[in-house]
Chain A
Amino acid sequence: MKDVTFGQYYPRDSFVHRLDPRMKFVFLIVYIVAIFVATNFYGIAACALVLAAVIVAARIPFGKVLRSIRGILVLLLFTALLNVLFVEGETVYAQWWIFVISKEGLLFAALLCVRLVLLVLCSSMLTFTTTPVALTDGVESLLTPLKWIRFPVHALALVMSIALRMIPVLMDEVDRIKNAQRARGADLDGGGLIKKIGTTIPILVPLVLSALRRAEELGDAMDARCYMGDKHRTKYKKLRFGWRDLVALLVGAALMTGVVLLRIYLPAPY
Protein backbone atom coordinates (compact mmCIF):
# COMPACT_ATOMS: atom_id res chain seq x y z
CA MET A 1 0.00 0.00 0.00
CA LYS A 2 2.80 2.37 0.86
CA ASP A 3 4.15 2.03 -2.68
CA VAL A 4 1.47 4.19 -4.23
CA THR A 5 3.53 7.13 -5.39
CA PHE A 6 0.74 9.42 -6.55
CA GLY A 7 0.39 12.40 -4.31
CA GLN A 8 3.41 11.51 -2.27
CA TYR A 9 5.55 14.46 -1.45
CA TYR A 10 9.28 13.78 -1.72
CA PRO A 11 11.04 16.21 0.57
CA ARG A 12 14.17 17.87 -0.82
CA ASP A 13 15.49 21.37 -0.75
CA SER A 14 15.84 22.03 -4.45
CA PHE A 15 15.23 24.62 -7.12
CA VAL A 16 11.99 22.95 -8.16
CA HIS A 17 10.74 22.47 -4.61
CA ARG A 18 11.14 26.17 -3.95
CA LEU A 19 9.18 27.31 -6.97
CA ASP A 20 5.88 29.06 -6.42
CA PRO A 21 3.18 26.37 -6.72
CA ARG A 22 1.21 28.62 -9.08
CA MET A 23 4.20 28.73 -11.38
CA LYS A 24 4.46 24.97 -11.26
CA PHE A 25 0.80 24.65 -12.21
CA VAL A 26 1.19 27.07 -15.08
CA PHE A 27 4.34 25.28 -16.19
CA LEU A 28 2.55 21.94 -16.08
CA ILE A 29 -0.26 23.29 -18.25
CA VAL A 30 2.20 24.83 -20.73
CA TYR A 31 4.12 21.57 -20.77
CA ILE A 32 1.04 19.46 -21.46
CA VAL A 33 -0.01 21.76 -24.28
CA ALA A 34 3.54 21.57 -25.67
CA ILE A 35 3.43 17.77 -25.64
CA PHE A 36 0.35 17.82 -27.82
CA VAL A 37 1.49 20.67 -30.06
CA ALA A 38 4.67 18.73 -30.85
CA THR A 39 3.85 16.58 -33.84
CA ASN A 40 7.28 15.22 -34.62
CA PHE A 41 9.93 13.40 -32.67
CA TYR A 42 12.16 16.46 -32.38
CA GLY A 43 9.48 18.31 -30.49
CA ILE A 44 8.81 15.36 -28.21
CA ALA A 45 12.54 14.96 -27.66
CA ALA A 46 12.72 18.60 -26.61
CA CYS A 47 9.89 18.02 -24.13
CA ALA A 48 11.62 14.92 -22.75
CA LEU A 49 14.85 16.86 -22.33
CA VAL A 50 13.11 19.60 -20.39
CA LEU A 51 11.45 17.02 -18.14
CA ALA A 52 14.81 15.33 -17.51
CA ALA A 53 16.26 18.71 -16.59
CA VAL A 54 13.37 19.31 -14.17
CA ILE A 55 13.93 15.93 -12.52
CA VAL A 56 17.65 16.62 -12.17
CA ALA A 57 16.97 20.08 -10.77
CA ALA A 58 14.50 18.60 -8.26
CA ARG A 59 17.14 16.09 -7.11
CA ILE A 60 14.69 13.21 -7.10
CA PRO A 61 15.95 9.77 -8.16
CA PHE A 62 14.84 8.87 -11.70
CA GLY A 63 13.73 5.41 -10.61
CA LYS A 64 11.31 6.92 -8.11
CA VAL A 65 9.76 9.14 -10.78
CA LEU A 66 9.59 6.37 -13.37
CA ARG A 67 7.70 4.19 -10.93
CA SER A 68 4.64 6.41 -11.31
CA ILE A 69 4.16 4.97 -14.82
CA ARG A 70 3.10 1.66 -13.30
CA GLY A 71 -0.38 3.00 -12.75
CA ILE A 72 -1.00 3.58 -16.44
CA LEU A 73 0.89 0.57 -17.77
CA VAL A 74 -2.27 -1.24 -18.85
CA LEU A 75 -3.66 1.87 -20.50
CA LEU A 76 -0.34 2.35 -22.26
CA LEU A 77 -0.24 -1.19 -23.66
CA PHE A 78 -3.87 -0.99 -24.72
CA THR A 79 -3.38 2.32 -26.52
CA ALA A 80 -0.26 1.09 -28.24
CA LEU A 81 -1.96 -2.10 -29.37
CA LEU A 82 -5.01 -0.32 -30.76
CA ASN A 83 -2.93 2.16 -32.68
CA VAL A 84 -0.54 -0.42 -34.06
CA LEU A 85 -3.41 -2.58 -35.29
CA PHE A 86 -5.83 -0.01 -36.61
CA VAL A 87 -3.93 3.04 -37.91
CA GLU A 88 -3.63 2.68 -41.64
CA GLY A 89 -0.63 3.93 -43.58
CA GLU A 90 1.22 3.73 -46.82
CA THR A 91 3.95 1.32 -45.87
CA VAL A 92 2.09 -1.80 -44.84
CA TYR A 93 4.10 -4.55 -43.14
CA ALA A 94 1.34 -7.01 -42.44
CA GLN A 95 -2.38 -7.27 -42.92
CA TRP A 96 -4.99 -9.67 -41.56
CA TRP A 97 -8.76 -9.31 -41.61
CA ILE A 98 -9.38 -5.75 -40.32
CA PHE A 99 -5.97 -5.44 -38.71
CA VAL A 100 -3.17 -3.54 -40.41
CA ILE A 101 0.39 -3.11 -39.20
CA SER A 102 1.96 -0.18 -40.95
CA LYS A 103 4.99 2.01 -40.51
CA GLU A 104 2.76 5.02 -39.82
CA GLY A 105 0.78 3.07 -37.25
CA LEU A 106 3.90 1.99 -35.37
CA LEU A 107 5.29 5.51 -35.34
CA PHE A 108 1.98 6.98 -34.27
CA ALA A 109 1.62 4.46 -31.44
CA ALA A 110 5.14 5.17 -30.24
CA LEU A 111 4.53 8.92 -30.31
CA LEU A 112 1.28 8.59 -28.38
CA CYS A 113 2.84 6.36 -25.73
CA VAL A 114 5.75 8.72 -25.19
CA ARG A 115 3.28 11.58 -24.87
CA LEU A 116 1.27 9.73 -22.24
CA VAL A 117 4.39 8.82 -20.31
CA LEU A 118 5.66 12.41 -20.35
CA LEU A 119 2.23 13.60 -19.25
CA VAL A 120 2.13 11.30 -16.24
CA LEU A 121 5.75 11.89 -15.28
CA CYS A 122 5.39 15.66 -15.42
CA SER A 123 2.19 15.60 -13.37
CA SER A 124 3.74 13.40 -10.73
CA MET A 125 6.73 15.75 -10.59
CA LEU A 126 4.28 18.40 -9.44
CA THR A 127 3.09 16.27 -6.53
CA PHE A 128 6.60 15.03 -5.75
CA THR A 129 7.92 18.55 -5.32
CA THR A 130 4.91 20.35 -3.82
CA THR A 131 3.32 19.78 -0.44
CA PRO A 132 -0.45 19.30 -0.49
CA VAL A 133 -0.88 22.57 1.38
CA ALA A 134 1.14 24.52 -1.18
CA LEU A 135 -0.75 22.75 -3.94
CA THR A 136 -4.15 23.88 -2.70
CA ASP A 137 -2.90 27.39 -1.96
CA GLY A 138 -1.78 27.51 -5.58
CA VAL A 139 -5.09 26.22 -6.91
CA GLU A 140 -7.02 28.68 -4.79
CA SER A 141 -4.90 31.57 -5.93
CA LEU A 142 -5.10 30.60 -9.60
CA LEU A 143 -8.86 30.20 -9.46
CA THR A 144 -9.42 33.59 -7.78
CA PRO A 145 -11.04 35.07 -10.92
CA LEU A 146 -13.89 32.59 -10.48
CA LYS A 147 -14.79 34.30 -7.21
CA TRP A 148 -16.24 37.13 -9.27
CA ILE A 149 -18.97 34.83 -10.46
CA ARG A 150 -19.52 33.66 -6.88
CA PHE A 151 -17.92 30.29 -7.40
CA PRO A 152 -16.88 28.90 -3.96
CA VAL A 153 -13.18 28.76 -4.74
CA HIS A 154 -12.11 28.64 -1.13
CA ALA A 155 -14.43 25.76 -0.29
CA LEU A 156 -13.21 23.87 -3.33
CA ALA A 157 -9.59 24.37 -2.29
CA LEU A 158 -10.45 23.25 1.22
CA VAL A 159 -12.16 20.09 -0.01
CA MET A 160 -9.14 19.37 -2.17
CA SER A 161 -6.66 19.87 0.63
CA ILE A 162 -8.65 17.72 3.06
CA ALA A 163 -8.94 14.98 0.45
CA LEU A 164 -5.20 15.07 -0.23
CA ARG A 165 -4.44 15.15 3.47
CA MET A 166 -6.65 12.15 4.12
CA ILE A 167 -5.07 9.88 1.50
CA PRO A 168 -2.09 8.87 3.66
CA VAL A 169 -4.26 8.77 6.79
CA LEU A 170 -6.71 6.36 5.20
CA MET A 171 -3.85 4.32 3.72
CA ASP A 172 -2.47 3.85 7.22
CA GLU A 173 -5.94 2.97 8.38
CA VAL A 174 -6.23 0.33 5.67
CA ASP A 175 -2.90 -1.11 6.79
CA ARG A 176 -4.04 -1.23 10.37
CA ILE A 177 -7.37 -2.86 9.59
CA LYS A 178 -5.73 -5.33 7.24
CA ASN A 179 -3.27 -6.31 9.93
CA ALA A 180 -6.05 -6.73 12.47
CA GLN A 181 -8.04 -8.99 10.14
CA ARG A 182 -4.89 -10.87 9.13
CA ALA A 183 -4.26 -11.56 12.79
CA ARG A 184 -7.75 -13.08 12.85
CA GLY A 185 -6.74 -15.40 10.04
CA ALA A 186 -7.92 -13.46 7.00
CA ASP A 187 -5.93 -14.51 3.94
CA LEU A 188 -5.59 -11.21 2.09
CA ASP A 189 -2.58 -11.88 -0.07
CA GLY A 190 -3.93 -14.09 -2.76
CA GLY A 191 -6.86 -15.91 -4.17
CA GLY A 192 -9.09 -15.22 -7.12
CA LEU A 193 -11.58 -12.46 -7.70
CA ILE A 194 -14.46 -14.12 -5.83
CA LYS A 195 -12.26 -14.68 -2.79
CA LYS A 196 -10.98 -11.12 -2.97
CA ILE A 197 -14.53 -9.77 -2.86
CA GLY A 198 -15.18 -11.90 0.20
CA THR A 199 -12.15 -10.54 2.01
CA THR A 200 -12.89 -6.92 1.10
CA ILE A 201 -15.92 -6.51 3.33
CA PRO A 202 -14.04 -6.96 6.64
CA ILE A 203 -11.71 -4.17 5.47
CA LEU A 204 -14.17 -1.88 3.73
CA VAL A 205 -16.80 -1.66 6.46
CA PRO A 206 -14.39 -0.53 9.21
CA LEU A 207 -12.66 1.80 6.75
CA VAL A 208 -15.85 3.57 5.68
CA LEU A 209 -17.01 3.83 9.28
CA SER A 210 -13.73 5.36 10.36
CA ALA A 211 -13.71 7.78 7.42
CA LEU A 212 -17.21 8.94 8.35
CA ARG A 213 -16.21 9.30 11.99
CA ARG A 214 -13.13 11.31 11.02
CA ALA A 215 -15.18 13.58 8.77
CA GLU A 216 -17.64 14.24 11.56
CA GLU A 217 -14.89 14.95 14.09
CA LEU A 218 -13.10 17.25 11.68
CA GLY A 219 -16.34 19.14 11.03
CA ASP A 220 -16.95 19.53 14.74
CA ALA A 221 -13.38 20.67 15.35
CA MET A 222 -13.71 23.30 12.61
CA ASP A 223 -17.02 24.49 14.01
CA ALA A 224 -15.55 24.65 17.50
CA ARG A 225 -12.87 27.01 16.18
CA CYS A 226 -15.43 29.18 14.42
CA TYR A 227 -14.34 28.30 10.92
CA MET A 228 -16.21 30.61 8.54
CA GLY A 229 -14.58 29.97 5.20
CA ASP A 230 -12.36 32.67 3.77
CA LYS A 231 -14.19 35.67 5.25
CA HIS A 232 -11.70 38.01 6.94
CA ARG A 233 -8.99 35.43 6.67
CA THR A 234 -5.33 36.18 6.08
CA LYS A 235 -2.65 33.78 4.95
CA TYR A 236 0.24 32.59 7.07
CA LYS A 237 2.38 31.90 4.05
CA LYS A 238 2.00 34.40 1.24
CA LEU A 239 2.88 33.09 -2.20
CA ARG A 240 5.55 35.17 -3.89
CA PHE A 241 6.81 35.22 -7.42
CA GLY A 242 10.63 35.14 -7.26
CA TRP A 243 13.61 34.83 -9.59
CA ARG A 244 13.26 31.07 -9.72
CA ASP A 245 9.75 31.46 -11.02
CA LEU A 246 11.01 33.81 -13.69
CA VAL A 247 13.52 31.16 -14.79
CA ALA A 248 10.74 28.55 -14.89
CA LEU A 249 8.55 30.90 -16.89
CA LEU A 250 11.36 31.50 -19.40
CA VAL A 251 12.02 27.77 -19.73
CA GLY A 252 8.32 27.16 -20.33
CA ALA A 253 8.12 29.94 -22.90
CA ALA A 254 11.26 28.70 -24.66
CA LEU A 255 9.89 25.16 -24.80
CA MET A 256 6.59 26.34 -26.22
CA THR A 257 8.28 28.54 -28.83
CA GLY A 258 10.67 25.77 -29.77
CA VAL A 259 7.90 23.24 -30.18
CA VAL A 260 5.80 25.62 -32.29
CA LEU A 261 8.78 26.50 -34.50
CA LEU A 262 9.61 22.83 -34.96
CA ARG A 263 6.04 22.21 -35.97
CA ILE A 264 6.13 24.99 -38.55
CA TYR A 265 9.56 24.34 -40.04
CA LEU A 266 9.63 20.56 -39.80
CA PRO A 267 6.07 19.81 -40.83
CA ALA A 268 6.83 16.19 -41.64
CA PRO A 269 4.86 14.45 -38.93
CA TYR A 270 7.57 11.92 -38.08
Chain B
Amino acid sequence: MRIVAEHLSYTYNARSPFETAALRDVSLTIEEGEFFGIIGHTGSGKSTFLQHLNGLIRLPSSLKHAKKQKKGGAETVLRVGEFDLTDKKTDFRALRRNVGMVFQYPESQLFAETVREDVAYGLKNFSPDMSEGEKNDAVRAALEVVGLNYDALKDRSPFELSGGQKRRVAIAGVIVTRPEVLVLDEPAAGLDPLGKREIMELLHRLHREWCRTIVFVSHDMDEIADNCTHVAVFSEGTVRYVLPPRELFARADELAALGLDVPLTAKLCAALKEQGIAIDCDLTAEDFADKVLSFAREKGRIA
Protein backbone atom coordinates (compact mmCIF):
# COMPACT_ATOMS: atom_id res chain seq x y z
CA MET B 1 0.00 0.00 0.00
CA ARG B 2 1.31 3.37 -1.02
CA ILE B 3 1.06 6.18 1.53
CA VAL B 4 0.45 9.67 0.19
CA ALA B 5 0.14 12.80 2.30
CA GLU B 6 -0.21 16.26 0.80
CA HIS B 7 -0.61 19.57 2.60
CA LEU B 8 -1.34 17.82 5.87
CA SER B 9 -1.64 20.09 8.92
CA TYR B 10 -2.66 19.36 12.47
CA THR B 11 -3.02 21.53 15.57
CA TYR B 12 -3.36 20.23 19.13
CA ASN B 13 -5.77 22.04 21.48
CA ALA B 14 -6.90 24.40 18.76
CA ARG B 15 -8.30 27.73 19.99
CA SER B 16 -6.96 27.45 23.54
CA PRO B 17 -3.88 28.82 25.26
CA PHE B 18 -2.26 25.40 24.82
CA GLU B 19 -2.58 25.55 21.05
CA THR B 20 0.39 23.97 19.30
CA ALA B 21 0.80 23.30 15.62
CA ALA B 22 2.16 19.76 15.35
CA LEU B 23 2.13 19.44 11.57
CA ARG B 24 2.31 22.25 9.05
CA ASP B 25 1.63 21.53 5.44
CA VAL B 26 3.35 18.15 5.38
CA SER B 27 3.68 16.40 2.03
CA LEU B 28 5.24 12.97 1.93
CA THR B 29 4.98 9.83 -0.19
CA ILE B 30 5.99 6.38 0.99
CA GLU B 31 6.09 3.79 -1.76
CA GLU B 32 4.94 0.22 -1.29
CA GLY B 33 7.76 -2.05 -0.12
CA GLU B 34 9.88 0.65 1.43
CA PHE B 35 11.80 0.46 4.68
CA PHE B 36 11.16 4.07 5.55
CA GLY B 37 12.89 5.92 8.36
CA ILE B 38 11.77 9.11 10.09
CA ILE B 39 14.09 11.25 12.17
CA GLY B 40 13.60 14.52 14.01
CA HIS B 41 13.60 16.00 17.47
CA THR B 42 10.97 15.43 20.12
CA GLY B 43 8.04 17.64 19.23
CA SER B 44 8.92 17.77 15.56
CA GLY B 45 5.63 16.11 14.59
CA LYS B 46 6.87 12.58 13.88
CA SER B 47 4.49 10.81 16.23
CA THR B 48 1.57 12.98 15.18
CA PHE B 49 2.24 12.04 11.59
CA LEU B 50 2.41 8.34 12.44
CA GLN B 51 -0.89 8.50 14.29
CA HIS B 52 -2.55 9.90 11.20
CA LEU B 53 -1.56 6.81 9.25
CA ASN B 54 -4.09 4.53 10.87
CA GLY B 55 -6.73 7.07 11.68
CA LEU B 56 -6.02 7.51 15.38
CA ILE B 57 -5.98 11.21 14.61
CA ARG B 58 -8.83 12.08 12.37
CA LEU B 59 -8.02 15.32 10.63
CA PRO B 60 -10.67 17.70 11.95
CA SER B 61 -8.56 20.82 11.59
CA SER B 62 -6.99 19.50 8.43
CA LEU B 63 -10.39 19.02 6.88
CA LYS B 64 -11.44 22.57 7.61
CA HIS B 65 -8.09 23.62 6.31
CA ALA B 66 -8.85 21.70 3.14
CA LYS B 67 -12.19 23.45 2.68
CA LYS B 68 -10.58 26.80 3.22
CA GLN B 69 -7.81 25.98 0.82
CA LYS B 70 -10.04 24.61 -1.89
CA LYS B 71 -10.59 28.08 -3.25
CA GLY B 72 -6.87 28.77 -3.22
CA GLY B 73 -5.89 25.43 -4.72
CA ALA B 74 -3.88 23.17 -2.40
CA GLU B 75 -6.09 20.45 -0.95
CA THR B 76 -5.27 18.13 1.92
CA VAL B 77 -4.72 14.57 0.78
CA LEU B 78 -4.06 11.59 2.99
CA ARG B 79 -4.30 8.19 1.41
CA VAL B 80 -3.07 4.81 2.56
CA GLY B 81 -3.50 2.31 -0.26
CA GLU B 82 -7.13 2.55 -1.32
CA PHE B 83 -8.19 4.20 1.96
CA ASP B 84 -8.92 7.92 1.75
CA LEU B 85 -8.43 9.23 5.28
CA THR B 86 -9.90 12.64 4.59
CA ASP B 87 -13.23 10.93 4.00
CA LYS B 88 -15.33 10.42 7.12
CA LYS B 89 -16.99 7.35 5.65
CA THR B 90 -13.74 5.42 5.37
CA ASP B 91 -13.82 2.07 7.18
CA PHE B 92 -11.24 2.85 9.85
CA ARG B 93 -11.33 -0.65 11.33
CA ALA B 94 -10.38 -2.14 7.99
CA LEU B 95 -7.65 0.48 7.73
CA ARG B 96 -6.28 -0.39 11.16
CA ARG B 97 -6.24 -4.03 10.23
CA ASN B 98 -4.00 -3.17 7.31
CA VAL B 99 -1.80 -0.67 9.10
CA GLY B 100 -0.24 -2.11 12.24
CA MET B 101 0.94 0.42 14.77
CA VAL B 102 3.61 -0.21 17.40
CA PHE B 103 3.76 2.66 19.88
CA GLN B 104 6.71 3.77 21.94
CA TYR B 105 7.33 1.32 24.78
CA PRO B 106 4.63 -1.02 23.44
CA GLU B 107 5.09 -3.34 26.42
CA SER B 108 3.01 -0.86 28.45
CA GLN B 109 -0.11 -1.93 26.56
CA LEU B 110 0.07 -5.58 27.71
CA PHE B 111 -2.93 -6.45 29.85
CA ALA B 112 -4.03 -10.07 29.55
CA GLU B 113 -3.38 -12.93 31.93
CA THR B 114 -1.45 -15.01 29.43
CA VAL B 115 0.83 -14.23 26.51
CA ARG B 116 -1.44 -16.19 24.18
CA GLU B 117 -4.49 -14.18 25.17
CA ASP B 118 -2.67 -10.87 24.82
CA VAL B 119 -1.32 -11.58 21.36
CA ALA B 120 -4.73 -12.85 20.27
CA TYR B 121 -6.47 -9.60 21.33
CA GLY B 122 -6.16 -8.04 17.86
CA LEU B 123 -7.51 -11.21 16.24
CA LYS B 124 -10.46 -11.25 18.61
CA ASN B 125 -11.28 -7.67 17.59
CA PHE B 126 -10.62 -7.85 13.86
CA SER B 127 -11.72 -11.40 13.07
CA PRO B 128 -14.33 -12.45 15.62
CA ASP B 129 -15.34 -15.43 13.44
CA MET B 130 -11.95 -17.11 13.60
CA SER B 131 -11.92 -20.50 15.33
CA GLU B 132 -9.74 -21.07 18.40
CA GLY B 133 -7.48 -23.39 16.40
CA GLU B 134 -6.89 -20.79 13.69
CA LYS B 135 -6.26 -18.15 16.32
CA ASN B 136 -3.69 -20.33 18.05
CA ASP B 137 -1.93 -20.99 14.77
CA ALA B 138 -1.79 -17.26 14.03
CA VAL B 139 -0.48 -16.50 17.53
CA ARG B 140 2.14 -19.24 17.18
CA ALA B 141 3.30 -17.82 13.84
CA ALA B 142 3.46 -14.26 15.19
CA LEU B 143 5.41 -15.28 18.29
CA GLU B 144 7.81 -17.33 16.21
CA VAL B 145 8.51 -14.54 13.75
CA VAL B 146 9.44 -12.22 16.63
CA GLY B 147 11.75 -14.94 17.91
CA LEU B 148 9.81 -16.32 20.86
CA ASN B 149 8.83 -19.89 21.63
CA TYR B 150 5.06 -20.32 21.56
CA ASP B 151 4.91 -23.51 23.60
CA ALA B 152 7.16 -22.18 26.33
CA LEU B 153 5.43 -18.83 26.71
CA LYS B 154 1.79 -19.19 25.74
CA ASP B 155 0.44 -19.80 29.23
CA ARG B 156 2.78 -17.50 31.11
CA SER B 157 1.82 -14.05 32.31
CA PRO B 158 3.28 -11.35 30.06
CA PHE B 159 4.23 -9.40 33.17
CA GLU B 160 6.78 -11.93 34.37
CA LEU B 161 8.85 -11.81 31.16
CA SER B 162 12.03 -9.82 30.67
CA GLY B 163 11.90 -6.33 29.14
CA GLY B 164 13.03 -7.45 25.70
CA GLN B 165 10.61 -10.37 25.69
CA LYS B 166 7.73 -8.13 26.71
CA ARG B 167 8.48 -5.84 23.80
CA ARG B 168 8.52 -8.79 21.41
CA VAL B 169 5.22 -10.05 22.75
CA ALA B 170 3.74 -6.57 22.28
CA ILE B 171 5.02 -6.42 18.69
CA ALA B 172 3.61 -9.90 18.06
CA GLY B 173 0.27 -8.59 19.31
CA VAL B 174 0.31 -5.99 16.55
CA ILE B 175 1.56 -8.06 13.64
CA VAL B 176 -0.65 -11.06 14.43
CA THR B 177 -3.33 -9.71 12.07
CA ARG B 178 -0.78 -9.57 9.25
CA PRO B 179 -0.94 -5.86 8.43
CA GLU B 180 0.46 -4.80 5.08
CA VAL B 181 2.05 -1.70 6.54
CA LEU B 182 3.82 -1.73 9.89
CA VAL B 183 4.42 1.58 11.64
CA LEU B 184 6.75 1.73 14.65
CA ASP B 185 7.52 4.65 16.94
CA GLU B 186 11.06 4.21 18.25
CA PRO B 187 10.89 0.43 18.47
CA ALA B 188 14.37 0.14 20.00
CA ALA B 189 14.07 2.89 22.62
CA GLY B 190 15.30 1.94 26.07
CA LEU B 191 16.99 -1.30 25.03
CA ASP B 192 20.66 -2.17 25.42
CA PRO B 193 22.86 -2.26 22.27
CA LEU B 194 22.30 -5.99 21.77
CA GLY B 195 18.55 -5.60 22.24
CA LYS B 196 18.59 -2.75 19.73
CA ARG B 197 20.37 -4.83 17.14
CA GLU B 198 17.97 -7.69 17.70
CA ILE B 199 14.99 -5.40 17.19
CA MET B 200 16.45 -4.06 13.94
CA GLU B 201 17.07 -7.61 12.76
CA LEU B 202 13.49 -8.41 13.68
CA LEU B 203 12.28 -5.47 11.58
CA HIS B 204 14.20 -6.77 8.59
CA ARG B 205 12.78 -10.24 9.06
CA LEU B 206 9.29 -8.75 9.24
CA HIS B 207 9.97 -6.73 6.12
CA ARG B 208 11.05 -9.85 4.23
CA GLU B 209 8.39 -12.27 5.41
CA TRP B 210 5.49 -10.43 6.92
CA CYS B 211 4.75 -6.76 6.11
CA ARG B 212 5.33 -5.20 2.71
CA THR B 213 6.06 -1.71 3.98
CA ILE B 214 7.77 -0.63 7.18
CA VAL B 215 7.81 2.91 8.53
CA PHE B 216 9.74 3.61 11.70
CA VAL B 217 10.94 6.49 13.82
CA SER B 218 14.41 6.39 15.29
CA HIS B 219 16.86 8.65 17.05
CA ASP B 220 19.78 6.43 16.22
CA MET B 221 21.43 7.63 13.00
CA ASP B 222 23.41 4.41 12.65
CA GLU B 223 20.18 2.45 12.63
CA ILE B 224 18.81 4.75 9.95
CA ALA B 225 21.95 4.62 7.79
CA ASP B 226 22.13 0.84 7.96
CA ASN B 227 18.57 0.06 7.09
CA CYS B 228 16.40 2.58 5.30
CA THR B 229 15.45 3.00 1.68
CA HIS B 230 14.41 6.60 2.33
CA VAL B 231 14.60 8.91 5.31
CA ALA B 232 12.28 11.82 6.10
CA VAL B 233 13.57 14.58 8.36
CA PHE B 234 10.91 16.30 10.46
CA SER B 235 11.55 19.65 12.05
CA GLU B 236 9.03 21.91 13.76
CA GLY B 237 6.09 20.22 12.12
CA THR B 238 7.41 20.30 8.59
CA VAL B 239 9.27 17.78 6.43
CA ARG B 240 12.68 19.17 5.55
CA TYR B 241 14.13 16.35 3.47
CA VAL B 242 13.08 13.03 2.01
CA LEU B 243 16.20 11.33 0.72
CA PRO B 244 18.02 8.01 0.68
CA PRO B 245 20.31 7.89 3.75
CA ARG B 246 23.45 8.22 1.69
CA GLU B 247 22.39 11.51 0.12
CA LEU B 248 20.88 12.78 3.34
CA PHE B 249 23.96 12.24 5.46
CA ALA B 250 26.13 13.94 2.86
CA ARG B 251 24.47 17.12 4.12
CA ALA B 252 26.00 16.92 7.57
CA ASP B 253 26.14 20.70 7.95
CA GLU B 254 22.46 21.21 7.17
CA LEU B 255 21.53 18.43 9.59
CA ALA B 256 23.74 19.96 12.26
CA ALA B 257 21.85 23.23 11.78
CA LEU B 258 18.67 21.30 12.65
CA GLY B 259 20.43 19.87 15.68
CA LEU B 260 20.67 16.39 14.18
CA ASP B 261 23.64 14.10 14.15
CA VAL B 262 25.04 11.95 11.34
CA PRO B 263 25.94 8.26 11.60
CA LEU B 264 29.37 7.20 12.78
CA THR B 265 30.29 6.00 9.27
CA ALA B 266 29.60 9.47 7.84
CA LYS B 267 31.78 11.06 10.52
CA LEU B 268 34.60 8.63 9.76
CA CYS B 269 34.29 9.30 6.02
CA ALA B 270 34.53 13.03 6.66
CA ALA B 271 37.57 12.56 8.91
CA LEU B 272 39.29 10.40 6.28
CA LYS B 273 38.49 12.94 3.59
CA GLU B 274 40.29 15.60 5.62
CA GLN B 275 43.34 13.34 5.47
CA GLY B 276 42.97 13.16 1.72
CA ILE B 277 41.38 9.72 1.63
CA ALA B 278 38.10 9.64 -0.24
CA ILE B 279 35.91 6.68 0.69
CA ASP B 280 32.85 6.31 -1.47
CA CYS B 281 30.44 4.15 0.48
CA ASP B 282 26.70 4.00 1.14
CA LEU B 283 27.24 4.67 4.87
CA THR B 284 26.17 1.25 6.09
CA ALA B 285 28.69 -0.16 8.54
CA GLU B 286 29.34 -3.19 6.33
CA ASP B 287 29.95 -1.26 3.13
CA PHE B 288 32.16 1.21 4.95
CA ALA B 289 34.33 -1.59 6.33
CA ASP B 290 34.56 -3.21 2.87
CA LYS B 291 35.56 0.03 1.14
CA VAL B 292 38.16 0.88 3.77
CA LEU B 293 39.62 -2.61 3.52
CA SER B 294 39.81 -2.54 -0.25
CA PHE B 295 41.39 0.92 -0.10
CA ALA B 296 44.01 -0.37 2.32
CA ARG B 297 44.67 -3.39 0.09
CA GLU B 298 45.10 -1.14 -2.93
CA LYS B 299 47.68 0.85 -1.07
CA GLY B 300 49.38 -2.37 -0.12
CA ARG B 301 49.17 -1.64 3.58
CA ILE B 302 47.66 -5.02 4.31
CA ALA B 303 47.56 -8.24 2.40
Contact = CB atoms under 8 A, between A and B. Distances in A.
Interface of A: 2, 10-12, 176-177, 179-187, 201-206, 209-210
B93 A187 contact: yes
Contacts of A183: 54, 56, 96, 100-101, 103, 174
Nearest to B18: A11
A191 to B, nearest CB: 12
Contacts of A209: 108, 159
A179 B51 contact: yes
B44 interface: no
A185 B93 contact: yes
B96 A185 contact: yes
Contacts of A186: 121, 125
B109 A180 contact: yes
29 contacts: A2-B13, A11-B17, A177-B108, A180-B106, A180-B109, A181-B109, A182-B56, A183-B54, A183-B100, A183-B103, A184-B96, A184-B121, A184-B125, A184-B173, A185-B93, A185-B121, A185-B125, A185-B177, A186-B125, A187-B93, A201-B111, A202-B109, A202-B111, A202-B121, A206-B108, A206-B109, A206-B111, A209-B108, A209-B159
B169 interface: no
B122 interface: yes
Contacts of B188: none
Contacts of B241: none
Size band of the interface chain B makes with A: 20 to 34
B194 to A, nearest CB: 24
- The B interface, classified by DSSP as helix, strand, loop or mixed, is helix
Contacts of A206: 108-111
A185 B109 contact: no
B125 A187 contact: yes
| 6 interchain residue pairs of minimum CB distance | A185-B125, A183-B101, A205-B111, A180-B109, A184-B122, A185-B126
Contact of A184 (B17, B51, B108, B174): B174
A128 to B, nearest CB: 11
Contacts of B230: none
A26 to B, nearest CB: 27
B96 to A, nearest CB: 6
Nearest to B93: A185
B214 to A, nearest CB: 15
Contacts of A210: 108
Interface in B122-181: 122, 124-126, 159, 173-174, 177
